[in-house]
Amino acid sequence: MFSHRAWHKKRFAENAEYREKVRAAQRRYRAKHKEKIRERRRLRLQCDPDFRERERARDREWKRQKRYKQVYGISLADYDAMLQRQDGACAICKKSNEALCVDHCHGCNEVRGLLCAKCNSALGFCNDSPEHLLAAAAYLLAARKAQASSTTSVALVEAGLLPGSATGAGAIADACHCRCAGKAV
150 Cβ partners below 8 Å, 6+ apart? Answer: none
Q: In tens digits, what is the pLDDT along the chain, a chain of 185 residues? A: 788 999 999 999 999 999 999 999 999 999 999 999 999 999 999 999 999 999 999 999 999 999 999 999 999 999 999 999 999 999 999 988 888 999 998 888 889 999 999 999 998 898 888 899 999 999 989 988 887 776 555 555 555 555 444 443 443 344 444 444 444 44
Cβ count near 105 (within 10 Å): 11
pLDDT at 86: 93
Decide: helix, strand or coil at residue 126: coil
Decide: helix, strand or coil at residue 102: strand
pLDDT at 173: 40
Task: Walk me through the domains of the chain, giving residue ranges and CATH numbers.
Answer: 73-128 (3.40.1800.10), 131-180 (no CATH)
pLDDT at 62: 94
Element containing residue 115 per DSSP (H, E): strand 111-116
Quick check: 44 and 50 in contact, CB under 8 A?
no
pLDDT at 128: 85
Beta-bridged to residue 111, according to DSSP, are 104
Measured distance CA(35)–CA(17) in Å, rounded: 29
Decide: helix, strand or coil at residue 108: coil
